[in-house]
Amino acid sequence: MLERQRDAYLAHVAVERGLSPNTVAAYRRDLDRYASFLAARGLADLKDVTREDVAAFAQGVSTGDDGGRALAPASASRTVVAVRGWHRFAVLEGWTLGDPSAQVKPRAIPKRLPKAISTDEVDRILAQAGAGDGPSPLRDRALLELVYATGARISEAVGLDVDDVVLDAGEETVLLRGKGRKERIVPVGGYAVDALDAYLVRARAPLAQAGRGTPALFLNTRGGRLSRQSAWAILRAAAERAGVEDVSPHTLRHSFATHLLNGGADVRVVQELLGHASVTTTQIYTLVTRDTLREVYAATHPRAR
């Protein structure tokens, strides 16, 4: 029974809620672990589960007492979220009369400020991405210019097709597909437009010759769509050559948001550009901005001390 109930819920989050395949796969692992925990307690149906069972599992995934590997706070929290979603779905489907997980909260995750680099460091990375001859440097520069210009996730950038980009004068935009396949149209700045134009005119066709034809915007050397892992490797290599340390796949996205807010952009505008469902997610960047304001104030106001 648990297996059928689990599969029905996973189908729901994949089809009705449009969660990505990676997220659905993570939910499946979480719920498989939960189902094993319930089975070990002699529970074969969600209707038999109590609040104490859910609470014991939520505690167990953090410590390993449920029989599995102890999870980091973020992973443990995601596991509890998956369990709570499954129980809510069970109530809606009429499998259970109540939700035993309603009062079991995910473990609080310590807030980590996003890593942002300076505009000078961004310039150095972009310059290094385009260094060299052949089509690959043109592609690499266009890719990273676009990510920084639009705040796109790496996965969103490599998922672009040629038709998703408009480079006509006065209409320079890109259609990005975020989490849950939610679409947003984001303007593209002049530097990124120039880099994309150079790539499309001089580099994409040579790369495409090695493949079988694909609408993908960014191509690998075999003519297929550039993977997320390859895009991350491009960023990491350019950062190393530029002498910029501690760069992650989200570095340019975080820097995009922080630089906009430091320049005076409204947080709700940045929310729309990033594709965040809630402004609360975007507001973590305002912490970075407030730190900057305090530093400037302390360094420049004659009576700051």
Catalytic residues: 153, 179, 250, 253, 276, 285
> Which residues, 6 or more positions from 49, have their beta carbon under 8 angstroms from its beta carbon?
38, 43, 87, 96, 100
Which spans in 162-266 are helix H?
A: 190-202, 204-208, 228-242, 251-262
Which residue bears the tokens 């706070």? 73
> Are 153 and 253 a contacting pair, CB within 8 Å?
yes
Rounded to whole angstroms, the Cα distance separating 11 from 185 reads 29
- Other residues' Cβ atoms within 10 Å of the Cβ of residue 198: 16
> Are 183 and 156 a contacting pair, CB within 8 Å?
no
Element (H, E) at 204: helix 204-208
> Are 83 and 59 a contacting pair, CB within 8 Å?
no
Rounded to whole angstroms, the Cα distance separating 247 from 229 reads 14
Rounded to whole angstroms, the Cα distance separating 252 from 153 reads 9
> Are 203 and 223 a contacting pair, CB within 8 Å?
no
- Other residues' Cβ atoms within 10 Å of the Cβ of residue 14: 17
> Which residues, 6 or more positions from 210, have their beta carbon under 8 angstroms from its beta carbon?
221, 222, 223
